[in-house]
Amino acid sequence: MNNIIVSLKKFITNKNTVTILGVIVILGLLYWGYNTTIENQVKPVQIPVAKQTIQPKTLITDDMVTYINVPSIAVSTNVQRSKTSIVGMYSNVNTVIPAGSMFYSDVLITEDELPDSAFTAVKDGERPYALSVTTESTYGNSIFPGNKIDIYMKAVDESGLVMVGRLLAQVDILAVKDGSGNNVFEDSTVTRTPSTLLFGVPEDVFILLKKTEYLKSFGVELFPVPYGGTAPIEGDLTVDRQELVNFIESNTVTFTDTTDTPETPVLESETE
């Protein structure tokens, strides 16, 4: 028994034996590590992909996304791995997401990151209209997106009297932009001067508003008033909406050409 123990000790303490055992252990660890790495890379994972082709600037909804299994090695770090991080986002400008494609971080943007995100809020059947304003006419830049306002009109009639009345009521403000087209309130660290209020109106109202732009010689001015408020400008006459519409229509006409260009309002005097 003692001879066996002595022989075993000699075998273990032999330098050649230790070297061989060390090599075997290292090879075993390398083999295990290699197999583990390969298995992790080819192990299938669930990834959300486009269920259909998604065009640029499109709101991504739940029915546009599905899941597939792919080897984890095929999934890069900028691939979205959850549907919740995709639904509600928009496809980037000039980016088409093909059916079956993964969703990469750089092809997804929020509504606020769209070049003209306010236009996506315009209702079907309406057209966006930009009303020229100043800091003063917006009550010290206190009209915000989401506010409701009334649109009042001032004009000078044939007898020289100033008439004032409410032309539109309960208009929803979609955006407030400065002279460069930037959203006034998107960056609280930058002071921007309001230049236009953007809102949506039906086609007939859009044409009516465009006509008022040609009536500057009649002293026509449109200005916002907080919904239900009182006009800050006083006139000789207080008139209702129909009287304002009649005044606009009686002093302009609309030419419609055969092309796809919008109708063009002109002064009544220009047709004589």
Q: What is the CATH number of the domain that holds 97?
A: 3.90.1210.10
In total, how many domains does the chain have? 2
pLDDT at 94: 75
pLDDT at 139: 94
Cα dihedral sign for 65, 67, 70, 73? positive
**155: alpha, beta or left? (left if phi > 0; alpha if psi -120 to 50):** beta
Question: What pairs with residue 68 in β-bridges?
Answer: 47
Half-sphere exposure of 103 (CA within 13 A, CB side): 29
Residue 154 lies in a domain: yes
| Residue 202 shares a structural domain with residue 130 | yes
Asked if 46 and 68 touch (Cβ cutoff 8 Å), the reply is: yes
Residue where a domain stops, chosen among 59, 93, 113 = 113
pLDDT digits (tens, 9 = 90+) for 223-251: 999 999 989 888 899 999 999 999 999 99
| Residue 121 shares a structural domain with residue 97 | no
| Residue 226 shares a structural domain with residue 124 | yes
What is the C-alpha separation between 232 and 225, in angstroms, rounded?
8
Beta strands in 59-193 (DSSP E): 65-71, 90-91, 108-109, 126-132, 148-156, 162-172, 175-177
Question: What pairs with residue 109 in β-bridges?
Answer: 90
Average pLDDT of the chain is 83
pLDDT at 39: 55
| Residue 92 shares a structural domain with residue 51 | yes
Using DSSP, state whether 225 is helix, strand or coil.
Answer: strand
| Residue 156 shares a structural domain with residue 219 | yes
Residue 138 lies in a domain: yes
| Residue 67 shares a structural domain with residue 165 | no
| Positions of the chain with pLDDT lower than 70, given as ranges | 1-25, 27-42, 117, 254-272
Using DSSP, state whether 65 is helix, strand or coil.
Answer: strand
What is the C-alpha separation between 173 and 66, in angstroms, rounded?
36
Residues 6+ apart with CB under 8 A from 150: 166, 168, 169, 170, 171, 224, 225, 226, 227, 228, 229
| Residue 139 shares a structural domain with residue 263 | yes
| Residue 171 shares a structural domain with residue 255 | yes
Burial of 250 (0-12, 13-18, 19+ CB in 10 A): exposed
| Residue 232 shares a structural domain with residue 267 | yes
| Residue 233 shares a structural domain with residue 150 | yes
Residue 175 lies in a domain: yes
What is the C-alpha separation between 65 and 50, in angstroms, rounded?
5
Paired sense of beta strands 237-238 and 175-177, if any: unpaired
Residue where a domain stops, chosen among 60, 80, 113 = 113
Q: What tokens were used for 251? A: 């002093």
| Residue 131 shares a structural domain with residue 239 | yes
Residue 216 lies in a domain: yes
Domain range holding 182?
117-271
First to last CA, the chain: 130
| Residue 93 shares a structural domain with residue 129 | no
Residue 2 lies in a domain: no
Residue 7 lies in a domain: no
* pLDDT above 70: percentage of residues in the chain: 77
Using DSSP, state whether 158 is helix, strand or coil.
Answer: coil
Residue 14 lies in a domain: no
pLDDT at 189: 80
Residue 252 lies in a domain: yes
Residue where a domain stops, chosen among 87, 113, 139 = 113
